Chain A
Amino acid sequence: MILMRSLDLKFLQLEETLYRSRTNSYSDKKKVEHFKELNALFFSLKDLNLNSLSQIDLGSISLILTYIENDIVFLNDSTLNNIPHELVYCLEKALEDWIDTDKIIISTTLTSKLDEFYFSSSYDQNFLKNLNRYIESIGIDCKISHLLLKMGLPKNCTRDYLANVVMYHELGHFIDSQYNISEKIYIKNFPNDYNLQNKIYDQRFNHISEYFADLFAAQYVSDASNLYLNFIANGNPDYVTHPATSKRINVVNDFLNDINNECVNQINEMLKLICNKSFEKRFQKISIKENCLIKLFPQYFKNTRELHYIFKLGWDFWENYESNILHNFNNKDRYYIVNNLIEKSISNYAITEQWSKEL
């Protein structure tokens, strides 16, 4: 039962949020457009005569207000100065392999907790489709064109590419949620005892989902994400939420070394069934001869597959500092050099791509 006073309160809260957001500067046109569309939808809903609507309509409107508020809050965090553009650029390139990115916006929020990396969307493309159908059915002439993805990473890691490589893993969770791959594997494996309402408390579901995200990342960055994982969760045993670190590393290594692995097989089988895709190596190794980092130059990439590999190249550069040019620098300088080189390499590639589009 939707109470009118509760809905009134929601309208007022959201109007205030929109008012405070009106001067935001966004880094790309899609965010500007999304804000305008959310704003237009809000004021169209506000113009409705709520007293004439059914409880079902009021429920839908309440849901839409929550959706608008969620997206506005994330857009607020994703203004010009806050975005790690180079990282977002790489993630967008990976996303292109899985989803029509013209309809996607990546928003960023900087978290205060160490190691709080996430990539989420409470809503999926199916929601957007239903939302647009619904607002059309009640005579509102608006459309929401983009799905907003929410990416969170610790403030101190925005320029730390050795750490934020794990965003590829988080992106994997997002793709998983869009296609329900882990959930469907879970249902297939345990048809009689699944409880979807409580799946997040079920170790079996959580572990499939973590393997999925690990393998998703490995497609692009080889074992670079696991190198960071091993740094923050070295020796961790099985938990309800995550498999033991050693098991995760083994699954990824099997994938990278083309060793038959039941977990990889199950995921690929379901990916094929649901979206006609599969996990494959989507990076291209850069040979020592072509490695610019070891000469302290930004890396040149021939293609996107090499672009993704920069994270692995950066990790190798960092890990092997005793045998490369980095041994001439102190630890702090090494850290800055590696991260700056990775950032410049990505940035150069992004700018060159932009130029070639404009020519």
Chain B
Amino acid sequence: MFLAQLTSDQIMVPFFLKKIEDVLVNQDSVNKIFVDKVIIESASVVKGNKFLYNIDNDYYDIVKLLIQSYSDKLITLTTPDREVYLEIKNIFA
């Protein structure tokens, strides 16, 4: 038994948070594309428009985490905005 262990999706969290921070602070357009894609894909899964198993592996781990911790908001989400970025940042930080 391990004292503590990170799962593959948890390993990706700090990098994802950094991307959100870059979008919020530096308006980084490349990271915005990635972050928006994760949020939109997660919303599609929660709304039943897409299957989780169909999510591209580039986003899969983070999408899994997001739908487990943010599905209440994702179900009504239309477009990712600053408020959504901040909420997600606070959930994972």
Q: Which residues of A contact B (CB under 8 A)?
A: 54-57, 59-60, 62-63, 66, 122-124, 126-127, 129-131, 133-134, 137, 177, 179-180, 184-185, 187-188, 191, 196-197, 270, 273-274
Contacts of A62 in B (CB 8 A): 14
User: What's the A-B contact tally at a CB cutoff of 8 Å?
Assistant: 66
Contacts of A126 in B (CB 8 A): 12, 57-58, 61
Contacts of A270 in B (CB 8 A): 53
Contacts of B21 in A (CB 8 A): 54, 56
Contacts of A191 in B (CB 8 A): 51-52
**A273–B64 alpha-carbon span in the complex (Å):** 18
The answer to whether A127 and B12 have CB atoms under 8 Å apart is: yes
Contacts of B14 in A (CB 8 A): 56, 59-60, 62-63
The secondary-structure label for the interface of chain A is: helix
Contacts of B9 in A (CB 8 A): 196
B40 at the A/B interface (Cβ < 8 Å)?
Answer: no
Q: Among A56, A123, A273, which residue has its beta carbon within 8 angstroms of that of B17?
A: A56
Q: Among A134, A177, A185, A188, which residue has its beta carbon within 8 angstroms of that of B15?
A: A134
B78 at the A/B interface (Cβ < 8 Å)?
Answer: no
The answer to whether A188 and B51 have CB atoms under 8 Å apart is: yes
Besides the contacts A179-B57, A187-B53, what 5 more A-B pairs have beta carbons closer than 8 Å? A56-B14, A60-B17, A63-B6, A127-B11, A196-B9
B8 at the A/B interface (Cβ < 8 Å)?
Answer: yes
Q: Among B12, B64, B68, B93, which residue has its beta carbon within 8 angstroms of that of A130?
A: B12
**A184–B14 alpha-carbon span in the complex (Å):** 24
**A134–B11 alpha-carbon span in the complex (Å):** 13
The answer to whether B93 and A122 have CB atoms under 8 Å apart is: no
The secondary-structure label for the interface of chain B is: helix
The minimal Cβ–Cβ distance linking A108 to chain B, given in whole angstroms, is 21
**Closest A residue, CB atoms, query B20:** A56
B36 at the A/B interface (Cβ < 8 Å)?
Answer: no
The answer to whether A60 and B64 have CB atoms under 8 Å apart is: no
**Closest B residue, CB atoms, query A129:** B58
Known A-B contacts A56-B17, A60-B14, A63-B14; the reply to A122 vs B8 at CB < 8 A is yes
Count B interface residues, CB 8 Å.
24
**A191–B15 alpha-carbon span in the complex (Å):** 28
Q: List 13 A-B contacts (CB under 8 A).
A: A56-B21, A57-B18, A59-B17, A62-B14, A63-B6, A126-B57, A137-B22, A177-B8, A179-B57, A184-B52, A188-B53, A191-B52, A274-B57
Chain B residues 15 to 36 lying within 8 A of chain A, measured CB to CB, are 15, 17-18, 21-22
**A56–B54 alpha-carbon span in the complex (Å):** 30
Contacts of A196 in B (CB 8 A): 9, 64, 68
**A130–B60 alpha-carbon span in the complex (Å):** 13
**Closest B residue, CB atoms, query A54:** B21
**Closest B residue, CB atoms, query A138:** B18
Contacts of B68 in A (CB 8 A): 196-197
The minimal Cβ–Cβ distance linking A319 to chain B, given in whole angstroms, is 38
**Closest A residue, CB atoms, query B61:** A126
**A274–B58 alpha-carbon span in the complex (Å):** 12
Contacts of A137 in B (CB 8 A): 18, 22
Contact with A along B51-93 (1 / 0, CB 8 A): 1111001101100100010000000000000000000000001
Contacts of A274 in B (CB 8 A): 57
The minimal Cβ–Cβ distance linking A33 to chain B, given in whole angstroms, is 23
Contacts of A134 in B (CB 8 A): 15, 18
The minimal Cβ–Cβ distance linking A177 to chain B, given in whole angstroms, is 7
**A177–B60 alpha-carbon span in the complex (Å):** 12
Known A-B contacts A126-B57, A137-B22, A273-B54; the reply to A60 vs B8 at CB < 8 A is no
Contact with A along B39-56 (1 / 0, CB 8 A): 000000000000111100
**A185–B13 alpha-carbon span in the complex (Å):** 24
Contacts of B8 in A (CB 8 A): 122-124, 127, 177
The answer to whether A131 and B15 have CB atoms under 8 Å apart is: yes
The minimal Cβ–Cβ distance linking A61 to chain B, given in whole angstroms, is 8
**Closest B residue, CB atoms, query A199:** B7
